[in-house]
Amino acid sequence: MSILFVLLTFLIVIAVNYVYFNPQEALPETKAAVRPKVPVMANEAGFSIPQGYSFHPGHTWVMREGGDNARIGLDKFAADLVGKIDRIEVADLSRWIRQGQPLVTVHSGETSFDLLSPVEGVIMAVNDDVVRNPSLATADPYKDGWIAILRSPDLKTNTRNLLQGPMVAPWMHYSVSRLKEACASMNPALAQDGGSLLSDVLPRIESKLRMKLIKEFFLN
């Protein structure tokens, strides 16, 4: 009996030490619990800009979720440029992604290209809804069309390299202007007055220009 008591005491001590000295990192809750909040939108220079979001020059965004968690997706400019997405492939869970490294591969028709991660960190969750139904990424890019959640320990430092606040609208305007100039010689109907663009731009231009735009705007 005394031997069993000693063994039991020993196992309890090991268990307590393991829990105390090896605390488990909190993972994101279930998909239903991590559903994003409705973004607060503001009209700035003719563009509808989600407040509190930071943008990568490769047209992805990041939104802090609390702690070190960061939600990521593609922006409205990218959604208008790409149009219909046939398939989305996201890097594997638990993989460490560096800022500016490919996070997502987008397949649209015969064209495939990467979207770059706006911050570095470990992939903690992927939006299964957008993987099953890629049209969500373009129909609702700032909410239900989010792509992944990263645990980003250096989120504050990373966001210093991104476009935020009053910088976003002028950058969007500049991106639209560059796109219009690039497309005008090929198909003037693709460029509209004002800040918005027709959707499905990439599928409607010839391959050489398509690859040029992918390189210029998605930094591939």
Q: What is the pLDDT of residues 146-202, one digit of tens each?
A: 999 999 999 999 999 999 999 999 999 999 999 988 888 766 666 554 444 556 889
Whether 188 is in a domain gets the answer no
Q: How far apart are CA 138 and CA 75, in angstroms?
A: 8
Residue 48 main-chain phi, psi, to 5 deg: -90, 105
The pLDDT value given to residue 142: 97
Q: What is the pTM assigned to this prediction?
A: 0.82
| pLDDT the model gives residue 15 | 42
The answer to whether position 6 is within a domain reads no
The reply to whether 110 falls in a domain is yes
Q: Could you tell me if residue 80 is inside a domain?
A: yes
Q: Three-state DSSP class for 179?
A: helix
pLDDT of the residue at 193: 44
pLDDT at position 191? 53
Residue 125 lies in a domain: yes
Q: Tally the domains of the chain.
A: 1
Domain containing residue 104: 41-167
List beta partners, residue 106: 88, 113
- Whole-number CA gyration radius for the chain: 22
Which has the minimum average pLDDT: 33-37, 79-83, 121-125, 157-161?
33-37
Taking residues 77-101, what's their average pLDDT? 96
Say yes or no to pLDDT of 14 above 50: no
Residue 208 covered by a domain: no
Q: pLDDT (tens digit, 9 = 90+) per residue, 90-106?
A: 999 999 999 999 999 99
In the numeric block, which tokens belong to residue 70?
Answer: 């960061």
Q: What is the mean pLDDT of residues 195-212?
A: 79
Domain assignment present for residue 211? The answer is no
Distance between CA atoms of residues 204 and 49, nearest Å:
27
Q: What is the CATH number of the domain that holds 154?
A: 2.40.50.100
Task: With a cut of 60, say whether residue 3 has pLDDT above it.
Answer: no
140 within domain boundaries: yes
